[in-house]
Amino acid sequence: MAKVTVFLWLGLTPGFSQDFSADTLDLTAVEVRAKQLQKYAYGQFVRSLDKERLTQMSGMTLGEALQQSTGLFVREYGPGMLASVSMRGTSAGHNALFWNGLPVNSPSLGQADYSIFTMGGVDQVAIHYGSSGTRYGTDAIGGAIHLDNTPDFGKGNETRVNTRLGSFGRWDQELSHRYGGDAFSFKTSLYRNFAANRFPYTDWASAGTPTRVQDHAEVTQMGWAQDLAVKLDKRQSIEASFWLNEINREIQPLLGSSERDQQLDWNIRGVVDYYHRRDKASWNVKAGLVRDKMRFNQEENQTLLALLGAELDWEPADEWQSNTGIRLTHIKGNLATYSREEQRLELYQATNFKPLPRLGFSLQLRQLIHDGEPVPFTPGLGAAWSIFNQEDQEWELTGNISRSFKVPTLNDRFWVPGGNPDLLPEQSWSREAGLNHSLKGSRLHIKNRLAYFHMAVDQWVVWLPKGTFWTPENVRKVVNQGLEYFFESEWKSGSWEMGLDLDYAFTRPIIESDDQDQSIGKRLPYVPEHKVQGQLHAGRGPLSFFIRGQKTGKRFVTTDNRSSLPAFALWGAGVQYDFKFSPWLKGDMGFSAHNIFDRDYQVLRLRPMPGRNFQFNVNLVI
Amino acid sequence: MKKLTIANCLLLISLLFSCGTDPVELPQGAYEEGVLIVNEGAFGANDGEIFHFDVASGEMETAIFEKVNNRPFAGLIQNMLVFGDYAYLVANTGKVEIVRSSDFMSMGAVEGELVNSRSLVTAKGKLFISDWGAYDDNYQNPDSFIAVVNDPTGGTIANTIPVSSRPEGLTYFGDRVLAACQSEGQLLVIDPDTETVEKTVPVTGTPFSFFDYGGKLYLYATDAANVYLHEIAPGGFEIADSQAFSVANSIYNGSFTLTDGGEIFVISKQESEDVVVKLSISSGSVIEEHFYSGNNFYGLGYDEATQTLYIGEHAGWQGDGSVLRVNSGGELIDQMPAGRGPSGFYFP
């Protein structure tokens, strides 16, 4: 096991601050890899979802998991339908999604469908809030989300059978086997998730507003996720992951429409990492492939992304850490109206400097060459200062300023008709300041983070009608400002363990310039000004309970802000029981209720969502 | 004490989450005067609506369908047609809403088998609704039809008449229902009693809709270079006469408006701007090539009472559009906010 010096965040579940005491810990190789997301992010906020909670979410989509576990606003076109994430008021294409370090935003659409990614295929979810283009490249203007798989060496064999039954015809199944030897580990996971989605809804589009049952929103998803890891020797290892996924969806029609669209997505993703670690330096070479095929009715679109990268992480001195990398990406698109290939070359450098034990800086630099043309140079600088650090309490100030970008998508440039090959990359300058606090009492743990952010996104691409077709242009500038507050607490009372988590986001994205005068000074549509999420949980022995609530504020529907959707609040609650029938058979079972008060709500206009519903899950571990 | 702590937390959280809405009441007969503005709505948003403009006060009343009926229209309004006491809101998203035209109170609807409904006419106590039918793999509409409903206040579809692809405008003329079918450039003659197609007449251009002028029935049609007015003979429904006006790239939705004096305004989508062109039926010629110009023009209407041209402007579909009012001299009177994609005007 490599013994390396890392700078730990206080916890992987909301990691509020970096501990500058430079703990020396024994970490597995994959743990080191996971920490890389946080390592060069002084002044920024990276948060990982609790692994235990992820296990409970087996069968859920990434969109559902984020909606239930974080304060992020997930734009859902219906249960199991297209879902995208809005981070800090940006649009769907301004957030980068990665799977084991591979960018999986569609190169043709420039965004990811968070309903395609099921939690059964990943072990870890990390969210990087705010501008992170300097670390991850294109699209990461509002933030980035990372899905990772983490092999467990030395853990032996474990077979899991997970089943979830839910209202309206939901049945999720997952069978997985994990083996972790001293030098070899693998995990095989097979899943099938089905949702008939035959939920009742009020048909506001019909005279008399009758209650109908949704009859065109069935989702069938199945897949195979495979992870392999081999330790070649004490310093070298190879890790590989493969994910085959298919999801077939009846597209839930808008209220008032009679469409019966069908969408079938096939996704093949594969990645191989080679690691070579030394005490003060480590190498990583990565090769990956993402192939997406999407058939919408009879129209078929295919994209291929192949990535080859290498990076060196080293510590030239105690105060310095350095990460230098190069990434070559080849993209090929065979879309309904065009075929195109392109190359991207990226060079990046991240440097940590820690002049004082409680003060650290991160400097990030990135240059992307897009089809031979350099996009604007992307720098970033962050700092974290632990202003008060006692054994039981810490206060920390953080700050960051950085640039990010988004290269125009294939469709933006080449769609026929209308594609605009002269589009410029969207660019942003972002700055944020945060205050982190943690309290560690004998019975009470509290973490707080309050952050202010300001982001100006320029050259924003908007599709506009030009004669008989539409074409994209760099016409909009948006300034986002807001506050984020995160609270996490745990306390013990007798034999009870309890916790309260709260996320709150205040977001105000204002259009500063636009093709349409009436939009200037207005807020971006479908960004709630307020979003709050809370969860209270309590457990005693094998039994645990939770109560969860969230409120999503009013959302404007169009850029002129003349129409809006009302705020909605949702409540959920559940109980879980951990059992152990024998040394070789254990597991847990849970029952949960969602939208308890049966709110008739729409995340997006005229797209009804399910009312009160229940889920029952059993997870067996053999 | 522990229970109290948890209860306090729950109370605190519950206070954070609450909301509510109130209905709106309107007086009867509110829409028997003024201008009704048809806002088509944006594709994928189904936010078509009717606005009402009070010419005397200058007040614009938004979303009157939703206000009166406490629910959104939820569709894309292809056409609004008034027959008798009823206004028929034909949505190309597959429904027809029927409201009392005086106050917009919902009277009924036609739903079910409609797919891409375009226009409507009443004849012999029945509703005839043109519908393109579903798109096939090549974005064609081989299964177009005209739906027949036996009740003018809506209900179920009693019969569907298969017709030439993409039936658009309908009219009742000479005891027959006439349909303009776009794909093959045909005029169909339908017997409303037997509900069968009696005759097919080829026409030049892509036909859109019918209008009456000077006791004659005309069919409006276009192609890339011209606007055509085909006069329909009352006897055999043949084309009695055709006029061609040199207007390039007239707008694809077929919007035009007619004055009592026999002048027609059409929108020409030109390279850098949209131009309103003025035609004359009596002279058979373009009388003003550049009556008024701007961008994002989408619909036209003409108010005889005030001799004012209304132009709907869609604001690039980024949000709600606006209405420009232009006087007979081609000068802008004012511009006011409207709904999403204002495409047509009705003057009660």
Name the most confidently modeled range: A10-14, A276-280, A321-325. Answer: A321-325
pLDDT, one tens digit per residue, over A389-405 is 988 999 999 999 999 99
Whole-number Cα distances in Å, A320 to A313, A363, A365, B234: 11, 11, 16, 92
Task: State the pLDDT confidence band at A16, using cuts at 50, 70 and 90.
Answer: very low
Please say if the pLDDT value at position B18 is more than 50. Answer: no
Q: What is the pLDDT of residue A119?
A: 86
CA distance A327 to chain B (A): 37
Please say if the pLDDT value at position A114 is more than 50. Answer: yes
Please say if the pLDDT value at position A39 is more than 50. Answer: yes
Contact yes or no for B46 and A257 at CB 8 A: yes
Contact yes or no for B94 and A560 at CB 8 A: no
pLDDT, one tens digit per residue, over A203-243 is 998 888 999 999 999 999 999 999 999 999 989 999 999 99
Size of interface A-B (CB pairs under 8 A): 135
Which A residues in the span 151-210 are in contact with B, Cβ-Cβ below 8 Å?
204-207, 209
Please say if the pLDDT value at position B9 is more than 90. Answer: no
Contact yes or no for A566 and B318 at CB 8 A: no
Q: What angle do CA A448, A451, A457 make, to 5 degrees?
A: 150
Please say if the pLDDT value at position B342 is more than 70. Answer: yes
Contact yes or no for B320 and A562 at CB 8 A: yes
How far is the C-alpha of B118 from the C-alpha of B331, rounded, in Å? 33
pLDDT, one tens digit per residue, over A328-378 is 999 999 998 999 999 999 999 999 999 999 999 999 999 999 998 899 899
Please say if the pLDDT value at position A24 is more than 80. Answer: no
Q: What is the mean pLDDT of chain B?
A: 89
Contact yes or no for B316 and A256 at CB 8 A: no
For A472, the closest chain B residue by CA position comes to B316
Q: Span A72-91, mean pLDDT?
A: 92
> For A289-333, what is the HEC assignment?
EEEEEEEECCEEEEEEEEEEEEEEEEEEECCEEEEEEEEEEEEEE
Q: Span B178-201, mean pLDDT?
A: 95
Q: What is the pLDDT of residue A518?
A: 84
Facing residue for B9 by CB, picked from A254, A519, A536: A536
Q: What is the pLDDT of residue B121?
A: 96
Q: What is the pLDDT of residue A150?
A: 85
Facing residue for B318 by CB, picked from A536, A559, A606: A559
Please say if the pLDDT value at position A59 is more than 80. Answer: no
The 3-state DSSP class for residue B338 equals coil
Facing residue for A549 by CB, picked from B17, B93, B95: B17
Which A residues in the span 423-462 are in contact with B, Cβ-Cβ below 8 Å?
462
Facing residue for B75 by CB, picked from A205, A550, A568: A205
pLDDT, one tens digit per residue, over B50-59 is 999 999 999 9
Q: Of the candidates A423, A416, A414, A418, which has an alpha carbon nearest to the alpha carbon of residue A340?
A: A414
For B77, the closest chain A residue by CA position comes to A256
Q: SS3 helix, strand, coil % of chain B, rounded to 5?
A: 5, 50, 45
Token output for A141: 């203007």
Facing residue for B315 by CB, picked from A298, A518, A538: A518
Please say if the pLDDT value at position A578 is more than 60. Answer: yes
Task: State the pLDDT confidence band at B193, using cuts at 50, 70 and 90.
Answer: very high
For A538, the closest chain B residue by CA position comes to B6
Percent of chain A at pLDDT above 70?
93
Q: What does the longest C-alpha to C-alpha distance in chain B come to?
A: 93
CA distance A258 to chain B (A): 6
Q: What is the pLDDT of residue A35?
A: 64
Q: What is the pLDDT of residue A442?
A: 87
CA distance A481 to chain B (A): 22
Q: What is the pLDDT of residue A11?
A: 34
A interface test, pick of B17, B78, B117, B317 with most A CB neighbours within 10 Å: B17
Pairing of strands A555-556, A543-552: unpaired
Q: What is the pLDDT of residue B12?
A: 39
Q: B270 or A12: whose pLDDT is higher? A: B270
Contact yes or no for A462 and B318 at CB 8 A: yes
CA distance B119 to chain A (A): 17
Contact yes or no for B314 and A298 at CB 8 A: no
How far is the C-alpha of A69 from the C-alpha of A77, rounded, in Å? 19
CA distance B174 to chain A (A): 34
What are the chain A neighbours of B10 within 8 Å (beta carbons)?
A: 536, 547
Please say if the pLDDT value at position A13 is more than 70. Answer: no
Q: Span B188-198, mean pLDDT?
A: 96
Task: State the pLDDT confidence band at A18, using cuts at 50, 70 and 90.
Answer: very low
Please say if the pLDDT value at position A543 is more than 60. Answer: yes
Please say if the pLDDT value at position B5 is more than 60. Answer: no
Q: What does the longest C-alpha to C-alpha distance in chain A come to?
A: 74
Please say if the pLDDT value at position A305 is more than 80. Answer: yes
Token output for B142: 């081989």
What are the chain B neighbours of A553 within 8 Å (beta carbons)?
A: none
What does the buried/exposed string (b/e) look like for A269-301 if buried means 16 or more CB atoms within 10 Å of the residue's CB? bbbbbbbebeeeebbbebbbbbbbbbbeeeeeb
Task: State the pLDDT confidence band at A1, using cuts at 50, 70 and 90.
Answer: very low
Please say if the pLDDT value at position A23 is more than 70. Answer: no
CA atoms within 13 A on the CB side of A594: 15
How far is the C-alpha of B330 from the C-alpha of A126, rounded, in Å? 61
How far is the C-alpha of B71 from the C-alpha of A522, rounded, in Å? 26
pLDDT, one tens digit per residue, over B97-147 is 999 999 999 999 997 789 999 999 999 999 999 999 998 888 899 999 999
Q: What is the mean pLDDT of chain A?
A: 89
Q: Of the candidates B186, B275, B187, B277, which has an alpha carbon nearest to the alpha carbon of residue B227?
A: B277
Facing residue for A256 by CB, picked from B74, B249, B314: B74
pLDDT, one tens digit per residue, over A138-185 is 999 999 999 998 888 888 999 999 999 999 999 999 999 999 999 999
Which A residues in the span 553-592 are in contact with B, Cβ-Cβ below 8 Å?
557-563, 566-569, 571
Write down the pTM of the prediction.
0.87
> For A453-469, what is the HEC assignment?
EEEEEEEEEEEEEECCE
